[in-house]
Structure 1
Amino acid sequence: MSLIEDLKWRHACKRMNGTKVPQEKIDRILEAINLAPTSLGLQAFKVLVIENQQLKEQILAEACPQQPVKECSHLLVFTTYTQITEKTLDEYFTLIEKVRNPGKEWCDHYREKIEGFMEKNYSNTENWLASQVYIALGVACTAAANERVDSVPIEGFSKEALNKVLNLHEKGLASVVLLPLGYKDEANDWLNNVPKVRKDNKDLFEVIK
Structure 2
Amino acid sequence: MNSIESLQWRYAVKKFNENKSLSKTQINTLKEAFNLTATSYGLQPLKLVVIKNKDIQKELVAHSWNQQQVVSASHLLVICIPTKYSAEEVENYFKLVKQIRETPDVVINPFKKFLTAEIEKKTPAELLIWNKNQAYLALGNLLTVCAAEQIDSCPMEGFVPEKYDEILKLGAHNLTSILVLPVGFRADDDYMKDLKKVRRNIEDVIIEIN
1:63–1:159 CA contact under 8 A, matched in 2 = no
Shift of 1:208: 2.5
Shift of 1:86: 4.2
2:5 maps to 5
CA deviation after TM superposition for structure 1 residue 61, in Å: 2.8
With normalisation by structure 2, the TM-score equals 0.93
Structure 1 CA distance, aligned partners of 2:144 and 2:161?
Answer: 25
Deviation at 1:63, TM superposition (A): 4.6
Is the counterpart of residue 172 in structure 1 residue 174 in structure 2?
Answer: yes
Q: % of aligned pairs identical?
A: 33
> Residue in 2 aligned with 1:125?
127
**TM-score under structure 1 normalisation?**
0.94
Aligned to 1:77: 78
Task: Indicate if the aligned counterparts of 2:64 and 2:158 stay in contact, CA closer than 8 A.
Answer: no
Q: Alignment partner of 1:80: what SS?
A: strand
Cα deviations by residue, 1:60-87 (Å, 9 ceiling, x for unpaired):
1345521010011110000011232244
2: CA distance, partners of 1:172 / 1:152: 26
Deviation string for 1:130-180 (max 9, x for gaps)? 111111111101111111110000100011111111111221111100000
Who is 1:111 aligned against?
112
Unaligned runs of 5+ in 2: none
Q: Residues 30-179 of structure 1: matches in 2 within 5 Å?
A: 30-122=31-123, 123-179=125-181
What is the aligned partner in structure 1 of residue 15 from structure 2? 15
* 1:33 aligned counterpart, secondary structure: helix
Separation in structure 1 between the aligned mates of residue 100 and residue 200 of structure 2, nearest angstrom: 43
What stretches of structure 1 of length at least 5 have no aligned partner? none
Query: Which amino acid is the alignment partner of residue 157 of structure 2?
Result: E
Kept in 2, the 8 Å contact 1:30–1:140? The answer is: no
Alignment partners' CA distance in 2, 1:163 and 1:141: 23
Matching residue's letter, 1:9: W
1:184 alignment partner, SS class: coil
Residues 25-53 of structure 1, C-alpha deviations (whole Å, 9 max, x = no match): 11112211111110010000100000111
